Amino acid sequence: MVDAWDRGRGPFSALTLYVATVTFGGLLFTLDRVRHLEPADLRMMGPAFVMAAALLVAGELRPLFTPGSRDSNGVATSTTFVFALLLHWGLGVAILMQAVATVVADRSNGTAWWRTGFDVARNALAYGAASLVLVAMGHTGAPNAPMTITGADLPAIALAGLAYVVCDNVLASRATALQCGERLWHVIRADAAHQALTTGALLALSPLVVVVLERSIALLPLLLLPLFAVYRNASASLQREHEALHDTLTGLPNRRLLLRQAGDAIEEADRCGYQVGLFLLDLDRFKDVNNTLGHNVGDELLRHVGERLGSVLRPEDTVARLGGDEFGVLLPVIRDQAAAEEVAERIRTALTQPFALQEVALDLEASIGIALYPAHANDVDLLMQRADVAMYHAKEARSGIEAYDSACDPHSTQRLSLFGQLRRAIEDDELVLHYQPKVDLGTGRVSGVEALVRWQHPERGLLPPDTFVPLAEQTGLMKSLTSNVLEQALRQTAAWSESGLSIRMAVNVSARDLHDDTFCDRVSDALSRTGVAASMLELELTERVVMADPQRAMENLTALARLGVRLSLDDFGTGYSSLAYLRRLPVTEIKIDKSFVLRMDVDDEDATIVRSTIDLAHGLGLRVIAEGVETAETWQRLSDLGCDAAQGYFLSRPKPAEVVTDWLTARDNVAAMRVVGSRRPAGRRSAARG
C-alpha cells in the first residue's frame, strides 16, 4: 500500500503533511515509551528476550509471500513476536524492538528514510492502541512483572489485536486515500479481507509465543516448526503460481498474468486518475531467423529480446511474452499518448541494436501497437484488442509504431456493438452447430463429423463463423465460445449414441484455447457432464495455433492425449510447420488443406503436394483426411493415392443436427459411398493408425 505514495507526492501536499504529522507524533510517542526502559530491564528478561528479538528481526527481514496477494512487500511474521512482547513485557519493549527491526529491514532494502520514519511511527501508534485496550481490561506486562496467559485472557487479547489491525490499517489507508483522492472507506474496504486473514492469523500465534517465553525456550522448536512449514508451503505455492503465470522459455509473465496486472492497474487508475498504457509488439521477419538458423537460435533470440525490453523500462512496468514472437508491455502509469509513444520509440530503438548469437549479428525490427486506458478502451479485453488493431496497422503501414486510431479501425463501433451482442449470444444460447460428415474412403462408412458453429442472430439471421470467431479471439470471449461449442457438440454426440449412432465428434480449437492452462480440465469436465468417452472427441488445431508457442502447445496437447482425446492437425501445408515438431506432436491425424485438394485435378503441383503429404503422414503413422472434396473425380483420385478419409460438399454440406441425423441413418447414402470407395486399391490403409 505504501509503495504507491511516490507518485504525485509534492512537498506541500495533503499527503506530505499527513505523513509528517503521523511520523512526528508516532516518533515522539516511541521515545516517550522507550525512555522508561533501563539496561537492567533488558538483562532481567534474559535469553528468552534475546531469542524473541532475533526471531522478530528475522521475520521482518524475511516476509512471507502468499499466492494471489497484491502486497508486494509480503507479510512480516515479526507481527507475531512484537505482539507477544507487548503482551508479556509491555509496550516499551514491543515498540523498541519493532523500531529496530523496521530500521534494519528498511536499510537492507534501501527504503527511503521518510518511509522508515512513517513505518516506525505507524507501528508504534497501532501497538499503543492495542496496549490501551489491554490496560483498560486490567492486563499489563512489564520487564519486572511479565504477564502470563490464561484462557480468561483471550477475549482481551482478541480485542487488543483488533485495535492494532484497525489502527494500523486506518493510518496506512489514509495516506493512500490522500494520494489517490479516494474516500478512506473505499481504500480500507479494498484491503480489509487480506488484512483480516493474514494479520489476524499472525496475531493469533502471539499467545503461544508468550507461553514459550514464560515456560522454557526449549519449547521454541514446537513453535518454529509450524512457521517453517508455512514458509515452505507458501514457497511451493508461489512456485506453482509462478509457473502457471510465466512463459517457460523466457521466464517473462504470460498473457494470463499480463491481463491480471492490467486489470489491477485499471482499478488503481480509476481510484487515482492515472492513464494505463498497453503495447503489443510483434517482431518483424522473426520467422526468417527460425527458418535460416533453426528454432534453438530463435528461442535464444526471444530470451535476449525479453531481457532488452526490460532494460529500457521502469521497474514498475511489465514485459510479457504472449506467444511466438509477440510481446506485451504494460505501463501502469503513463502521462499521455505522447509519453507512451516516447517509450515505444525507446523500445524500438533498443531492438535495432544487433543481437550477437552464435557468432552471428542479428538485426531486428518491431511493430508496436499502443492503446491507452481510458482514452482508447474502458476494460482490459477491449484495451488488448485495440492494442492489437494498432499493432497490425503499424505492420501494414510499415511505420513501426502506431497508437490506436478509430479512423484506422472503420468497424470499431460495429465490432464493439457486436462484441456485446456476442457475449449475450453465448449466454442466451444463440450459437448453433452445423455438422459436416467425414467418410472413410475405403469403406464408405462415416468416420465422424466436424462441428461448425453458426450464430443465429435475432436481427441479421444466420451468421457464418468468420463474422464473429475472430472477434471472440481478439476480445477474450474465445474461452466462453469454445466451452459453449464443446458442450453442444458433446451433448449431440451423446444423443446420437443413445439412438444407436456411434459418431466421433470433431471440434476446432483456437490458440487461446490451446494456450489456456485450464483447457484440458475444461474438456475433461465437459466429457464427464455429458457422459461421452474421451475417444469419441477429436480436437482440430491448425499449424499456426501450434507454432505460435510450440512448447506450451506440446504440454497441453500431451495432457489432452493422456486424457484419451484424439488430436487432428488441420489446414496442413498452409502454416510454418516443422517436421521435428510434427513428429513430436501427439496427433493421430492430419487434414490436408482444401486449397490443395480443390485444385489437384487441374494443377499437377497441388496434386504432388497432396500425394507427398499422404506419404509423409503414413510414414509417420498418421491418418490422413482431405477436406474440400467437391467432385467424384477428386474422391476417386484421393482413394487411388491412399488417403484415408474425405470431407466436403461432394458428401454433404454442413447441416443442422436433425438433417445430419437423417443423412447418417439413410442407408442409400452409405451404400452410394461404398460403391465409389470400392475402386480404391487394397493394402494402403495399413500404414495409418487410428
The pLDDT of residue 169 is: 86
Question: Could you give the strand order of the β-sheet that contains 401-403, starting from the edge strand earlier in sequence?
Answer: 318-323, 326-334, 275-284, 365-373, 401-403
pTM over 0.75: no
The pLDDT of residue 686 is: 32
| Neighbouring C-alpha atoms within 13 Å toward the C-beta of 571 | 13
Choose among 555, 521, 560: nearest CA to 540.
560
From residue 309, give the alpha-carbon distance in Å to each of 249, 300, 305.
Answer: 15, 14, 6
H/E segment holding residue 330: strand 326-334
Residues sharing a CB contact under 8 Å with residue 544, sequence separation 6 or more, in sequence order: 511, 571, 575, 576
Residues sharing a CB contact under 8 Å with residue 605, sequence separation 6 or more, in sequence order: none
- Digit-coded pLDDT (tens) for 534-543: 999 999 988 7
- Digit-coded pLDDT (tens) for 88-127: 999 999 999 999 999 988 888 888 888 899 999 999 999 9
- Digit-coded pLDDT (tens) for 474-518: 667 888 999 999 999 999 999 999 998 999 999 999 878 887 888
User: What is the C-alpha separation between 235 and 568, in angstroms, rounded?
Assistant: 39
The pLDDT of residue 175 is: 83
| Beta-bridge mates of residue 401 | 368
From residue 508, give the alpha-carbon distance in Å to each of 453, 478, 494, 522.
Answer: 9, 11, 18, 15
From residue 187, give the alpha-carbon distance in Å to each of 15, 170, 258, 539.
Answer: 15, 9, 24, 46
User: What is the C-alpha separation between 609 and 628, in angstroms, rounded?
Assistant: 15
* Domains of the chain (ranges, CATH numbers): 2-245 (no CATH), 255-410 (3.30.70.270), 415-680 (3.20.20.450)
The pLDDT of residue 507 is: 96
H/E segment holding residue 256: helix 255-272
The pLDDT of residue 74 is: 62
H/E segment holding residue 229: helix 220-245
Low-confidence residues of the chain: pLDDT under 50: 1-9, 576, 667-690
The pLDDT of residue 5 is: 46
Beta strand 431-440 with 446-457: parallel, antiparallel or unpaired? antiparallel
Task: Please spell the DSSP secondary structure of 367-418, one letter per residue.
Answer: EEEEEEETTT-SSHHHHHHHHHHHHHHHHHHT-SEEE--GGG-TTHHHHHHH
> How many beta carbons lie within 10 A of that of residue 140, not counting itself?
13
Q: Which three cell numbers stand for residue 285?
A: 521477419
Choose among 260, 236, 235, 232: nearest CA to 246.
260
Specify burial of residue 45 (Cβ count, 10 A radius: 0-12, 13-18, 19+): buried
The pLDDT of residue 1 is: 36
Choose among 171, 208, 206, 215: nearest CA to 82.
206
Cα 45 to chain center, whole Å? 51
The pLDDT of residue 670 is: 47
Residue 309 near residue 350, CB atoms below 8 Å: yes
> How many beta carbons lie within 10 A of that of residue 640, not counting itself?
14
The pLDDT of residue 231 is: 67
Specify burial of residue 162 (Cβ count, 10 A radius: 0-12, 13-18, 19+): middle
- Digit-coded pLDDT (tens) for 139-149: 888 888 888 88
Handedness of CA 234, 235, 236, 242 (dihedral sign): positive
Long-range contact list for 629-634, CB < 8 A, 24+ apart? 629/597, 630/598, 631/601, 632/676, 633/601, 634/597, 634/598, 634/600, 634/601
Q: Which three cell numbers stand for residue 65?
A: 509471500
User: What is the C-alpha separation between 45 and 597, in angstroms, rounded?
Assistant: 88
DSSP 313: S
User: What is the C-alpha separation between 511 and 515, in angstroms, rounded?
Assistant: 6
